[in-house]
Amino acid sequence: MVLCLVAAVVLGIVSIFSARYRTYAKEAFRCVFRMATLRKCDTDFDRKLKSAVVGRLIAKWPKFAGFVYRQFEIISWIFTIIFFVSLAYTGYSVYNLAVYNNCNGAGGGACVFVQNAQNETNCVAGDVPVSPPVYFDLNASVMFFYRDGCQWCEKEKLVLVDLSKSGYAINPMHIDAHPEYIKNYNIQVTPTFIGKNGTRLEGYQEENVLKAFLDANK
Amino acid sequence: MDVEKIRQDFPVLQKKFGGKPLIYFDNACQSLRPRQVIDEINRYYNEFPACGGRSMHKLGKRVTEEMIIARAAVAKFFGAKKPEEIVFTRNTTEAINLVANSLGFKEGDVVLTTDKEHNSNLIPWQMLANSKGIKRVITKSGKDNTFSMENFQKAMSKNVKLVSMVHTSNLDGTTIPAKEIIKIAHENGALVLLDAAQSAPHKDLNAKKLDVDFFAASGHKMLGPSGMGILYGKYNLLENMTPFITGGDTVIDTTYTSAKFEKPPAKFEAGLQDYAGMMGFAAAVQYLNNVGIENIERHEIELNKKLTEGIINLPGLSIIGPQDASLRGGITSFNINGMDPHEIAMIMDQAANIAIRSGAHCVHSWFNEHNMKGSARSSLYLYNTKEEVDIFIENLGKIVKFLKL
């Protein structure tokens, strides 16, 4: 029965940590194997699952239990499809987070984990994600340390917008989202730029100075 | 019989499972255990956890004494002439196998059974048929699955060496007329072995009154510890039987090439025994004695009548065996049309902590003969109550009403 697919994944993981679930995991895997070879499940696994669910429902909602009992196969299919689709989306989001530091991938404005992108785009919980500024590049060799409410940081961003027209970009390092940056990078003031080999510029920089620094750190 | 007071003696009945009490209707498999039995087992392990029948030190002597006391108590409970007629085994199955392997069957000997034997009273005879060439005759049950004296008398002959029958069936709870069967068997020169696994816990089973040659019973179905059973055998028969499992404690003396065997029961009790189990078994029979076995039987039948009345008219439900609950003791095996018995049992367990058995109950032969997969079975005992039966009926009613296809 199709719910074995879900059970095999869940029980397979759980049984790594607990011997108690290994017998159930074996039954679930056997059921999956039988299904994959177009044969009926010959363990009690499907029946146990169905009975466990229906048994819990029948005490309080007998009519609903009856519906679940009769439509269990269809409900199982729906649940299984939802499970695997969710699993795929979760996997995709984890991949994006690892590669792009953002759940929605390159150019995505999702706001779940990355506070610096969130603040820059005024993205708060429930908002529609907005694209980050064009001068943001997580792979850029120069890091730009800034914080909210820092006037000189805001003024520096206008410079960065101009520079972005010539293809310049910086790696944004939002201190409010990551206070550990202060200690890790020994940040004394904002804005601060740190290039390759630890070279740094502290405080607001005119466009020509910043451009030269970015050129030197290409 | 004060059921509420009795229930206080059973620790597991004081527990809640998922916030609900346990409703244990699987007594044909194993019964629950009272404190008195548990305490007696603990007494062995706490006070004298040593070997019995061997060691000369204080603890050893103490164990030997307790063994003697335990055997005597069990012998008295079952109406044996003397304690030596009680052989402790692991269970009914081992006891039956002991008779099968020790009675000295030879080719052509006939063993007569019913058509609804537990596998433990079926397979040993099949094995002997294959290995020694004994003949097996099966007495068909009558209508309602009850014992047919007519069929038995037709099957009986002077060639029958042993009549080996289930006294009370674990399938449908019906009991054979043992006294009459034993009389007819003896008139034909046959011995009688009763599978008393389901009768010993629930009925007055007296070896002397019945004049039965052997019976096998399980302690764990009558409040005793798991893994304890007995074989009752008339002493003169046991004396002439060859040992089944041999080894330490079955012999007086050995050389490299010979062994001088003990007298019964020692010659059948090889190796170190379950001394705690023996003591627990004795405590169990003492408990049953105090409550009164007739009271227990009466109580079960009353509850089973109520249960039967509550479910017999459920659409699609059929009971195996006679509809009259008084003929089924505390057992009701049933099926619901279109539902798997295992599903019924699992749903009852999940919905209301009702523990019943499902499947073929180790009587696969009967179900195969009748083209059935199995059944659900409720089996009652002294600590079950009317309220529990009401909950059972209510939940089974829900299953039939809302789930039956």
CATH value at residue B64: 3.40.640.10
Across the A:B interface, residue pairs with CB atoms under 8 Å apart total: 49
Question: Cβ contact (<8 Å) for A55 and B351?
Answer: yes
Q: Is residue A130 over pLDDT 60? A: no
Rounded to 5°, the CA angle B382-B384-B388 comes to 170
To the nearest whole Å, the CA of B318 is away from the closest chain A CA by 21
| Average model confidence (pLDDT) across chain A | 82
Tell me, yes or no, whether A53 lies in a domain: yes
> Is A31 exposed, middle or buried, given 0-12, 13-18 or 19+ CB atoms closer than 10 A?
buried
> Distance (Å, rounded) from C-alpha B50 to C-alpha A137?
78
Q: Report the 10 Å Cβ neighbour count for A82.
A: 11
Residues B276 and B298 in one domain: no
Contact of B307 with B286, CB cutoff 8 Å: no
The pLDDT of residue A121 is above 60: no
| Total of domains in chain A | 2
What pLDDT does A100 receive? 65
Residues B330 and B284 reside in one and the same domain: no
Residues A11, A91 share a domain = yes
Residue A174 lies in a domain: yes
Q: Quote the pLDDT of residue A110.
A: 38
A133: in domain: no
A62: nearest CA in chain B? B402
Same domain, B112 and B238: yes
Whether residue B327 lies inside any domain: the answer is: yes
Residue B39 lies in a domain: no
pLDDT given for residue A109 in this prediction: 40
Interface of B with A (CB under 8 A): 340, 342-343, 346-352, 395, 398-399, 401-403, 405
**Same domain flag for B232 and B271:** yes
Cβ B403–A63 below 8 Å, yes or no?
no
Written as one letter, the residue type at B133 is G
> Is the separation of the CB atoms in A97 and A113 below 8 Å?
yes
pLDDT at A124: 40
pLDDT higher than threshold 80 for residue A113 = no
CB atoms within 10 A of CB B159: 14
Instruction: Provide the pLDDT for residue B278.
Output: 97
| Adjacent-strand bridge partners of B320 | B333
Question: In the numeric block, which tokens belong to residue B216?
Answer: 């096998």
Q: Which of A198, A117, A195, A202 is nearest to A152 (CA)?
A: A202
**The pTM of the whole model exceeds 0.90:** no
Residues A84, A151, single domain; the answer is no
Model pLDDT, residue A116: 44
Same domain, yes or no, for B236 and B101?
yes
Domain limit, last residue, from B263, B290, B317? B290
A19 within domain boundaries: yes
Token output for B289:
């004695």
Say yes or no: A11 and A85 in one domain: yes
Using the 3D structure, point to which of A66, A100, A134 is the last residue of a domain: A100
| Two tokens, residue B346 | 């699992």
Q: How far is B405 from chain A (nearest CA, A)?
A: 7
- Rounded CA separation B173/A196 (Å): 87
A68 min Cα distance to partner chain B (Å): 9
Buried b (16+ CB within 10 A) or exposed e, B19-31: eebbbbbbbbbbb
Chain B: residue whose CA lies nearest to A57: B351
DSSP letter at A195 equals -
A165 and A96 within one domain:
no
Assigned domain for B35 exists: no
Work out the pLDDT band at A10, boundaries 50, 70, 90.
confident
Please state, in angstroms and rounded to a whole number, the distance separating the CA atoms of residues B173 and B269.
Answer: 31
In a domain, B57, yes or no: yes
Q: Are B201 and B222 spatial neighbours (Cβ–Cβ below 8 Å)? A: yes
Q: In terms of domains, do B59 and B92 share one?
A: yes
Contact yes or no for B110/B137 (Cβ under 8 A) = yes
CB contact under 8 A, B343 and A70: no
Q: B20 by DSSP, 3-state: which?
A: strand
Amino acid identity, position B347: I
A21 domain residue, yes or no:
yes
Q: Which helix (H) or strand (E) holds B23?
A: strand B23-24
In this structure, the number of other CB atoms found within 10 A of the CB of residue A53 comes to 19
- Residue B367, domain CATH: 3.90.1150.10
Last residue in a domain, options A46, A68, A100: A100
Question: What is the domain count for chain B?
Answer: 2
Does B165 lie in the same domain as B62? yes
Asked if residue A176 is part of any domain, the answer here is yes
CA distance B20 to chain A (A): 12
- Nearest-Å Rg of the Cα atoms of chain A is 27
User: Which chain A positions have a beta carbon within 8 Å of B351's beta carbon?
Assistant: 55-56, 58-59
Distance, CA of A197 to CA of B397 (rounded, Å)? 79
Residue A154 shares a structural domain with residue A86:
no
**Domain ranges, residue A196:** 143-216
User: Does A116 map to a domain?
Assistant: no
Helix, strand, or coil here: B173?
Answer: coil
* Residue A91 shares a structural domain with residue A155: no
| A95 alpha-carbon distance from chain centroid | 7
Contact between residue B98 and residue B89 where contact means Cβ atoms under 8 Å apart: yes
ipTM over cut 0.85: no
The residue in chain A having the minimum alpha-carbon distance to the alpha carbon of residue B395 is A59
DSSP three-state, residue A143: strand
Residues A20, A79 within the same domain: yes
> What is the Cα gyration radius of chain B?
22
pLDDT tens digits in sequence order for chain B, 405 residues long: 999 999 999 999 999 999 999 999 999 999 999 999 999 999 999 999 999 888 889 999 999 999 999 999 999 999 999 999 999 999 999 999 999 999 999 999 999 999 999 999 999 999 999 999 999 999 999 988 999 999 999 999 999 999 999 999 999 999 999 999 999 999 999 999 999 999 999 999 999 999 999 999 999 999 999 999 999 999 999 999 999 999 988 999 999 999 999 999 999 999 999 999 999 999 999 999 999 999 999 999 999 999 999 999 999 999 999 999 999 999 999 999 989 999 999 999 999 999 999 999 999 999 999 999 999 999 999 999 999 999 999 999 999 999 976
CA–CA separation, B390 vs B393, rounded Å? 5
- For residues B86 and B11, membership in a common domain is answered with no
Residue B36 domain-assigned (yes or no): no
Same domain, A156 and A89: no
- Tokens encoding B111: 């063993």
Nearest to A58 among B340, B342, B402 (CB): B402
Name the one residue in this structure whose structure tokens are 């059972």.
Answer: B392
| Sign of the CA dihedral with B253 first, then B256, B259, and B265 last | positive
Q: Which helix (H) or strand (E) holds B139?
A: strand B135-139
Q: Assess contact for B56 and B307: CB atoms under 8 A.
A: no
A32-87 pLDDT, tens digit per residue, is 888 888 887 777 777 888 898 999 999 899 999 999 999 998 998 898 899 999 99
Question: Of the residues B290, B325, B357, which one is the last residue of a structural domain?
Answer: B290
User: Do residue B399 and residue A58 have CB atoms under 8 angstroms apart?
Assistant: yes
What is chain B's length?
405
Res A129: pLDDT: 41
Instruction: Specify the 3-state DSSP secondary structure of B194.
Output: strand
- The residue in chain A having the minimum alpha-carbon distance to the alpha carbon of residue B402 is A66
Give the whole-angstrom CA distance, residue B76 versus residue B84: 11
Catalytic residue numbers of B, as ranges: 362
Task: Give the C-alpha separation, B81 to B89, whole Å.
Answer: 19
Among residues A43, A69, A100, the one where a domain terminates is A100
> Quick one: residue A129, left, alpha or beta (phi over 0 = left, psi -120 to 50 = alpha)?
beta
Dihedrals φ, ψ of B114, to 5°? -90, 180
Q: How confident is the model at residue A176 (pLDDT cuts 50, 70, 90)?
A: confident
Q: Identify whether residues B91 and B237 lie together within a single domain.
A: yes
d(CA B302, CA B334): 18
Q: Which residue has the higher pLDDT, A135 or B226?
A: B226
Q: What is the mean pLDDT of residues A95-100?
A: 75
Tell me whether residue B240 is in a domain: yes
* A104 — pLDDT class (breaks 50, 70, 90): low
Report pLDDT for A106.
Answer: 56
Domain that holds residue B108: 48-290
Q: Residue B32: inside a domain, yes or no?
A: no
Name the token pair of B155: 């099957």
Q: Is the pLDDT of residue A117 over 50?
A: no
B34 in any annotated domain: no
Q: What is the pLDDT of residue A115?
A: 43
A196 located within any domain: yes
Closest partner residue to B342 among A44, A56, A58, by Cβ? A44
CB B36 within 8 A of CB B283: yes
pLDDT at A131: 61
- Return the H-helix or E-strand segment holding A156: helix A151-164
Q: Are residues B134 and B243 in the same domain?
A: yes
Pair B206, B235 in one domain: yes
**Is residue B66 classed exposed, middle or buried when 0-12, 13-18 and 19+ CB atoms within 10 A define those classes?**
buried
For residues A181-185, give the mean pLDDT: 90
My answer on whether B157 and B168 are in the same domain is yes
Boundary of a domain, candidates B247, B268, B290: B290
CB within 8 Å: B347 and A63: no
Contacts of B402 in chain A (CB under 8 A): 58, 62-63, 65-66, 69
CA distances from A140 to A168, A171, A184, A217, A218 (A): 9, 5, 19, 9, 8
- Residue B253, phi then psi, degrees to nearest 5: -160, 155
